[in-house]
Amino acid sequence: MKANENPAPGLPRTGTSMMMQLLAAGGVPVLTDDHRPADAGNTRGYFEHQAAKGLRNDSTWVAQARGQAVKLVAQLIPHLPPGERYRIIMLHRPLDEVVASQRKLLERLDKAGGRTSDEALRRTFARQVGQVRSLLLALRRRGVLDILDVHYHDALSDPAGVAERVAAFLGSDAFDAKAAAGVVEPALRHEGVDAEAAA
C-alpha cells in the first residue's frame, strides 16, 4: 500500500461498507473477496476481505494490495506494516448509534456480544477509537500517512459533498465523484440509528 492505498477504517457500523461502495463506484479498485454475502445488516454487501480481517496475525498481503481500497476496522490500524505510505479515510458516527447498530447486528446473528451491556460496548469502543486516533495523529506527524475524516451523517445528508472531498483527498482526476455519490441510498438519510444498511 503506497500513497495511492486507501484503507477505509472506522468502528463497526460507522459506514465503512458505504465508503467502500462509494470508492468502488468512483473507480477505485477495492480489495474484497465476497466471502461475507450481503444480508439484512448490509444489503449491498460488506466489502470485506479475509486477509484484511486477519491483519493482526499476517500482514504479508499488504504489499500486493497497493493501489486498492481496503476495509479495516479501526482496531486493526496499529497492525499495518511499516515501510508503506497510507491514505486513511476514517469514518465517524455517534457512539450511541454505533452501539445500537452493533447490538442489532449481534442479536440478529445470535452472537454472544449481543448480551454485552450498552455501557460496556460504549466504553470499549471509546477506548479503542481513542487509542487508534492517537496513533494516527502520531503517524501523520511523521509523514507516514494522510487522513480524511468523514462523518457518517455527512455522507448520508450530503453524499455529493463527501464524494468531492474524497476526490480531492485522493488527488485523482479519474475519480468519478458523481457516480460515487449516487451509491448512497436516499432512503437511509434520515433514519438515525436504524440506518443500518449503509453501515
Nearest residue to 92 (alpha-carbon basis) of 147, 163, 171: 147
pLDDT over 80 (residue 9):
no
Output the pTM of the full model.
0.81
- Count structural domains, the chain: 1
In this structure, is residue 199 part of a structural domain? Answer: no
Domain that holds residue 20: 6-194
CA-to-CA separations, 74 to 136, 173, 185, in angstroms, rounded? 10, 28, 24
Residue 54 confidence (pLDDT): 94
The pLDDT tens digits for 32-46 are: 997 887 777 677 878
> Which three cell numbers, joined as nine digits, stand for 192?
438515525
The pLDDT tens digits for 167-195 are: 999 998 899 999 999 999 866 543 444 44
In this structure, is residue 1 part of a structural domain? Answer: no
CATH number assigned to the domain comprising residue 25: 3.40.50.300
pLDDT higher at 154 or 75:
154
For the chain, give the mean pLDDT. 82
